[in-house]
Amino acid sequence: MPQNPFVYGEVVPAAAFVDREAELDRLSADLLAGQKVFLISPRRYGKSSLVRQALRSAARGGALTVDVTVSSYSSYVAFLEGYARSLVSVETRLDRARTWLRDLLGAVRPEVRIDDAGGRLELSFPSIRTDRDVSRLAGEVFALPGRIAEARGRRMTIALDEFQAIGAFNGGSVEHALRAAVQHQRQVGYVFSGSEPSLMERMLGRSRPFYNLPYDVQRLAHELWDDTRADGRRTAGLEDLHVTLKRLLGEHQTLFEGTWQRLTLAQRGALRAAVLEEGRELLSADVRARYRLSGASTVQASLAALVREDVLAREGDRYVVVDSLFREWVARQTF
């Protein structure tokens, strides 16, 4: 009998992966260009399968690839050990991999052995005991991709799946350490993917290390550049910019819709007023009447809640939407 072609509940093989051509091309190109991408969706949307295909595409483009599921590890040190082991495994010759570890991680004294049963390289850091030791180890491990890319003279593409789980390791210091390392690694592309949208969104909040990575203006310019090149053109105008913006808003629809739905009705009204009034005079009777808002105290409470949730920020005498794409979405998609 022919094999059932409908695969689900697992990362699908290449033969079973269909559709998502545009998303796959864009993600693959960004990774090969050394971009840092956040990929957010609920579970069972095919996110891991898309990432796996993008890594295969990057490998065909000559990049070294690494795929790690962050939520698989029970502690920060276990994650660092597993991540370092995955990074070094791009070198298939075990003797050379051991040399790499000695040369690249000698400062944190790794213990390396070869598993007799499977011939696999095992790695641990038995000398790591204090928080200070862990912090030093993290700095060395997170710097590894850049060092490996330089040593091999090749690009690297790294997927950190279920990335929201990293927040449980050692408080927020993990995000700071990782952010400090990846921002200097132009030869390394990262995709940070997660299936708990609310947690992933918080990691991009104004007070967190990954906020504005990449910056909003740079993001839009980057996407416009890619769209223009994909169309075989050398110049772009204002109309092209709006086409790219419309595409980005569509890609963020699920994320922005989730954020909007979590707000109370009073907060939605205050946010929409902030967007359309450019954040000014929001407590005035005129603005409250125009947007059918409640009393000034209720509007003030809603604005304060939106600031606490990093949806709005206070700048002088006005409120601004932290995510400029979300601002455009609110202006175009809500009433």
Tokens 């030093």 sit at which residue?
Answer: 136
Q: How far apart are CA 150 and CA 306, in angstroms?
A: 44
SS3 62: coil
Weakly modelled stretches of the chain, pLDDT under 70: 1, 8, 15-16, 116-119, 171-172, 206, 211, 213-215
Answer for the pair 154, 62: CB distance below 8 angstroms, yes or no.
yes
Give the whole-angstrom CA distance, residue 186 versus residue 234.
Answer: 24
Please give the full DSSP string across 1-40, using - where no structure is assigned. -PPP----SSPPPGGG--S-HHHHHHHHHHHHTT-EEEEE
DSSP labels, 195-240: S-HHHHHHHTSTTSTTTTSS-HHHHHHHHHHHHHHHTT-S---HHH
pLDDT in the model for residue 119: 66
The tokens 């005035």 sit on which residue?
A: 284
Q: How far is the C-alpha of 93 from the C-alpha of 258, rounded, in Å? A: 47
Helix or strand (DSSP H, E) at 117: none
Q: What is the dihedral of CA 128, 131, 135, 136, to 10 degrees?
A: -40
Percentage above 70 pLDDT, the chain: 94
Q: Give the pLDDT confidence score for residue 213 in this predicted structure.
A: 53
- Mind listing the domains of the chain with CATH numbers? 14-213 (3.40.50.300), 252-333 (1.10.10.10)
Taken in order 168, 170, 176, 178, the sign of the CA dihedral is: negative
How many angstroms separate the CA atoms of 102 and 82, rounded?
17
Residue 15 near residue 49, CB atoms below 8 Å: no
Is residue 183 within 8 A of residue 122, CB to CB? The reply is: no
pLDDT for residue 40: 85
The Cα–Cα gap between 209 and 38 comes to 13
73 three-state secondary structure:
coil
What is the gyration radius of the CA atoms in the chain, in angstroms? Answer: 23
The structure tokens listed for 314 are 């206070």
**Whose structure tokens read 């913006």?**
245
pLDDT of res. 327 = 94
pLDDT at 117: 65
**For the whole prediction, is pTM greater than 0.85?**
no
Whole-number Cα distances in Å, 196 to 70, 230, 289:
13, 32, 38
- Position 283 scores a pLDDT of 95
